[in-house]
Structure 1
């Protein structure tokens, strides 16, 4: 028995709040949500404002003298070479691995799908520590490329695999029917459809290269981030360090513009009736063994080597390395900062996510953009901004837990924002309308309907923020209160003193905490691609 539906999708003859043309009242009022979102956006622009202010306060002549000097040219050359070599290498490994896993008859492809994402659970500075343990002479640009590539290629692999898994194979089948061979189909049909995934992954890799401190400091490879940290430690936020930060911010903004331009205007969504066909996996034939060996080698280098040397140092240190009075406080403080930071970040992200979904406009998009710009800045720039502002404006809050949590919020807000936005989109406003039409107050309908439906997405975003805080190093080093011990800072302290056995337990605990969050990120990317 069928039911007649009106154009709005409601049963004919029924009346709802929506049918009367009324919007549901927001739980806190539009003005309140807007004000909170504006305050968040203004707060998120603090690091960028700090860089602009310090550059202007330095004076044009002094700024030009400090920026256009041989040392800056050397750092710029190192940075450009690092990106020019590492980003293409990550693209080749990430896209190649994704194609093997998703589009070929690779034996054990389900296992390889997870194995290629696993290296993301290992912080880059832990990877560097392991490789220095294996080859103590590692130093320079090629060592940086090796460690960065093995650490960051999953940032390309995960979105590429998710996209390949959802591509409609009809176009590929049409191209093959016209006489194109497998390689021609890949380069002329499949690869262009990976454009967004590749550009986004490349941007993430490049931004990580600009922000990374520990991995490059350990192999004595100078970048802007390592140089800024040296300047801060020697002159405590001197003018030279501020000018290096301004160049670093300029590079980040250039990367954002390049990524936006690289997306193009083409659309890649499938439009039309009928179900999407299942992709036909290409047989590897004689290439089965080489493919297996290549993936095995990549997994061993990116995941096996770090885990092996961490375990080796733990065994070498014996039971003494697990002294409870040392690592338990670091573990507890890491869990505390991660949990509090994740909770606060998720709460702060809610007003902006609510506006983006329930009141979309150019204004809400601009508010979102402000957060993405700030999150692209390296942690050391955000840390320096908070150091300067807290000392000059609010000296009483310098090196307090509140300042450190605020820095975490700015650095990782988009991780919560993206998830919250997806969750709110799955809790349509019509459900609020229905609840309010039944006499429920706006706040009650919000908690009983919207919040309950968006809770899983919010929890996923909070988990990703937690993962980022666990592995964060530079901002924590700059802003943490005296006596603070986290897994990352204690690992860095001991490894800097060449106490590799003492650093190993902290490295292992970071990996164990990061592993389930990395798996969550991998699974979430699959779901997002399927929407």
Structure 2
């Protein structure tokens, strides 16, 4: 799971990656082309804002509403990030270092909120308490669905780390909390920062949850500007502000990670993991492990069952429309997965096999979309398709391309790791047997890296199923997905009519969430699973 969802890290590869060898020109050109295609939304957005003129920019930023939108956005992102760290790190410690029965079950429950988009969780809570609105409900729901972004990578870091330094600190008279800070925290701080980065970017990009709770932020203002008056300049300028916020967050995470490396340096110690007996803390620990999945998933699912089996819902259910929305969701998300993998393959292969400044630059450019919220990509591709290729406007191809751009960074990480694990000696043997470079790639590298490439495609497909802002902006006329159908009904408080679509969305997303949880690897030595 951590290999698929974490930002790029310098993980040692089991094979030699040469900085002296020059990458093949075709691979280099394909990687550059992939970066250029993925950068179309940001480039066009910057061109759009630059062409609007300084007066328009000043006029938009000087509106009285803009500072409030900016403050709401920053406050919500900071609050959700802080609360997910406070919940995610203790959860990860329990999953990796505490003596627990049925450990695999707890890991699956911890990952389950990944299957629930923010607007679906908001739908469940609004169906139970229709008066909820504003900052606190938005913070509450976004925290619940975002905790796995912190808990899962930190769990992986704790499993790979050591508790030997904690034991040394305890022998020197330090208490358990001080020993954790000195011994374990340096090992998990990079994973914590990576998870916090993902949470913050997710909150900045979120539209559905905050819109249902009627909490005004930049994403809702951009959507309203586009939908109400089609004010392109106003929406583009606000979108640029949102992108700049995301870039500041990325830079802040990189600075914090650099400080952590300088402060703590390389962490080494005895390769051991001490398992903690919870004792009197068993009840609070189990409550923590249960609370997040129950509140994030249990409440929406319970409301779904109540609404789903109401007589009015059953009578009004249009099975043909539900089936068509399901097919549209699967087809469009599959197309997005194909495009994301196609864009990520040359970048991942280049980064896995070669080193150098040019390779690092191309790889970094490939991760540029990590800071592009869905609404920004959707808005940019609307402008781009209308101006450059009008024939593609409101076609499935543009929407699938948006999915590919949005989720390509997730695919790059998995593909880079899987290709890096293929021994280069096998490729050399194939070349000595007379196979060309392309044949070697297809018969050796691609075949052995196929599981990682498939996992990347699966992750992109599942994430695309839940994508809402880009889908609302780019979907072809008359083509609705499960997310769109759910949104259309919850936006007008038709919770009963939305229940079948919400249930279908949870079902199609829960299976891959289970597969990506790594529950089968959840055993810890010496502990019951």
Contact kept in structure 2, 1:159 and 1:525, CA below 8 Å: no
The structure with more radius of gyration: 1
| Residue 6 of structure 2: aligned partner | none
What is the CA deviation profile of residues 420-450 of structure 1, one whole-angstrom value per residue up to 9, with x for unaligned ones?
1111111122211101212333333222211
Structure 1 residue 271: Cα displacement: 6.1
Q: Quick one: distance in 1 between partners of 2:285 and 2:162?
A: 25
Contact kept in structure 2, 1:124 and 1:147, CA below 8 Å: yes
- Cα 1:402–1:297 change in 2 (3 A) is closer
> Counterparts in 2 of 1:79-158, with a 5 A limit?
79-158=73-152
Structure 1 residue 395: Cα displacement: 1.2
| Residue 254 of structure 2: aligned partner | 260
- Cα 1:318–1:227 change in 2 (3 A) is closer
| Residue 4 of structure 1: aligned partner | none
Contact kept in structure 1, 2:163 and 2:184, CA below 8 Å: no
Q: Quick one: distance in 2 between partners of 1:490 and 1:135?
A: 21
What is the CA deviation profile of residues 158-202 of structure 1, one whole-angstrom value per residue up to 9, with x for unaligned ones?
111111112112211211221222121122322232111111111
Greater Cα offset, 254-263 or 178-187: 178-187
- Cα 1:45–1:443 change in 2 (3 A) is closer
| Residue 320 of structure 1: aligned partner | 315
SS of equivalent residue, structure 2 residue 517: helix
Structure 1 residue 68: Cα displacement: 2.7
Q: Quick one: distance in 2 between partners of 1:424 and 1:184?
A: 40
| Residue 13 of structure 1: aligned partner | none
| Residue 39 of structure 2: aligned partner | 45
What is the CA deviation profile of residues 433-486 of structure 1, one whole-angstrom value per residue up to 9, with x for unaligned ones?
101212333333222211110000000000000011100111111111111121
Contact kept in structure 1, 2:104 and 2:519, CA below 8 Å: no
| Residue 429 of structure 2: aligned partner | 434
| Residue 347 of structure 1: aligned partner | 342
Q: Quick one: distance in 2 between partners of 1:233 and 1:73?
A: 21
| Residue 227 of structure 1: aligned partner | 221
Greater Cα offset, 39-48 or 86-95: 39-48
Counterpart selection for 2:455 from 441, 460, 467: 460
Contact kept in structure 2, 1:101 and 1:113, CA below 8 Å: yes
Contact kept in structure 1, 2:333 and 2:400, CA below 8 Å: no
SS of equivalent residue, structure 2 residue 367: helix
- After TM superposition, the score normalised by the length of structure 1 is 0.90
What is the CA deviation profile of residues 271-316 of structure 1, one whole-angstrom value per residue up to 9, with x for unaligned ones?
69xx832x22222221212222333233321221111111211112
What is the CA deviation profile of residues 370-415 of structure 1, one whole-angstrom value per residue up to 9, with x for unaligned ones?
2212232111111111111111121111111111111111101111
| Residue 7 of structure 2: aligned partner | none
Contact kept in structure 2, 1:408 and 1:469, CA below 8 Å: yes
Higher relative contact order (CA 8 A, sep 6+): 2
| Residue 490 of structure 1: aligned partner | 485
Contact kept in structure 2, 1:253 and 1:373, CA below 8 Å: no
1:292 aligns with 2:289: no
List runs of 5+ in structure 2 lacking aligned partners: 1-13, 525-529
> Counterparts in 2 of 1:236-275, with a 5 A limit?
236-264=230-258, 265-266=261-262
| Residue 411 of structure 2: aligned partner | 416
What do you get for the CA RMSD once the two structures are aligned? 2.5
List runs of 5+ in structure 1 lacking aligned partners: 1-8, 10-17
Contact kept in structure 2, 1:126 and 1:507, CA below 8 Å: yes
Q: Quick one: distance in 1 between partners of 2:43 and 2:155?
A: 38
| Residue 496 of structure 2: aligned partner | 501
| Residue 392 of structure 2: aligned partner | 397
Q: How many residues align?
A: 504
Q: Quick one: distance in 2 between partners of 1:296 and 1:414?
A: 31
- Cα 1:490–1:318 change in 2 (3 A) is closer
Q: Quick one: distance in 2 between partners of 1:242 and 1:145?
A: 26
Contact kept in structure 2, 1:330 and 1:490, CA below 8 Å: yes
Structure 1 residue 257: Cα displacement: 0.3
Q: Quick one: distance in 2 between partners of 1:300 and 1:516?
A: 18
1:161 aligns with 2:155: yes
Q: Quick one: distance in 2 between partners of 1:468 and 1:356?
A: 24
| Residue 3 of structure 1: aligned partner | none
| Residue 277 of structure 2: aligned partner | 283
Q: Quick one: distance in 2 between partners of 1:238 and 1:429?
A: 50
Q: Quick one: distance in 2 between partners of 1:406 and 1:299?
A: 32
Structure 1 residue 508: Cα displacement: 1.3
- Cα 1:332–1:145 change in 2 (3 A) is same
- After TM superposition, the score normalised by the length of structure 2 is 0.90
What is the CA deviation profile of residues 77-117 of structure 1, one whole-angstrom value per residue up to 9, with x for unaligned ones?
11121122211110011001111222222444432222122
Contact kept in structure 2, 1:387 and 1:479, CA below 8 Å: yes
